[in-house]
Amino acid sequence: MRAIKKLCLLTLALFAALYTQAQSGMMDPVSFKLKNGMTVIVAQNQQAAKVYSKFTVEGADLNQQHAAGANAILQVLLHQNAAPVSANVSFNEKGGLVNADAADFANSLNTLSKTVQGAQISQELFEKAKASLIADLKVRGQEAASVSLTEVESVNLKDVKAFYTAYSSPSKAYLTIAGNISSSAAKAMAQKAFGDWKENELSK
């Protein structure tokens, strides 16, 4: 339980709006797995104004060649896929994020799920994402980034598709939900959004 609570608190630290509120309203987190193996962790905080979620995949093939650069470009692609659909959903180098009012959270979580499971990765979108990431890295500088310019420049479309295959695995996925939501409601929403996600045989 301590390890689970620590993970939740680390996730909450990403959401300043939630973290700055009194933590006395946060209940002990609960953890469960969906039938497809996806791990879900819920931390209810009745004092929070919104509901927040973080999606990550642990154990994707980071040992494959160009993995760091492929992951960075994939997250930009996922963000570009989600942005036109919902302003509450975003992706960065560490995974997917939802920041929504309670009334909008279910729809936002569904958008996150659809984006992860059915990412559009064409040559045109790849080139757009890669160019955007390279421009961002040049502005931010190497010290502020978790991936180098060289790692990104060496990646091609095939690398990103191969990484996405490894990434598309519910048994490696973790979904943290925190904020003004009950564990029962969060479980139902997670099941609806991700319950039908099938294990990709190539990602095992």
Kind and range of the H or E element at 59?
Answer: none
Q: How far is CA 135 from CA 171, 183, 194, in A?
A: 34, 41, 33
Average pLDDT, whole number, for the chain? 85
CB 113 within 8 A of CB 193: yes
Q: Give domain limits for the chain.
A: 2-198
A 10 A CB-CB count for 159 gives 20
**pLDDT band with cut points at 50, 70 and 90 for residue 7:** low
Rounded mean pLDDT, 52-57? 95
Rounded mean pLDDT, 111-133? 96
Higher pLDDT among residues 89 and 166, named by residue:
89
CB 45 within 8 A of CB 177: no
pLDDT at 16: 43
Give residues with Cβ within 8 angstroms of 124, minimum separation 6. Answer: none
**Maximum CA extent, the chain:** 49
Which of the 8 DSSP states describes residue 49? Answer: S
Output the six-digit token pair for 96. 């997917």
Is the pLDDT score of 2 beyond 80?
A: no
CATH, range 2-198: 3.30.830.10
Residue in the block written with tokens 């997917």: 96
Is the pLDDT score of 95 beyond 60?
A: yes
pLDDT at 203: 47
Output the six-digit token pair for 197. 């996600």
pLDDT at 93: 85
Bridge-based pairing of strands 39-44 and 173-179 is parallel
Residue in the block written with tokens 């890669």: 130
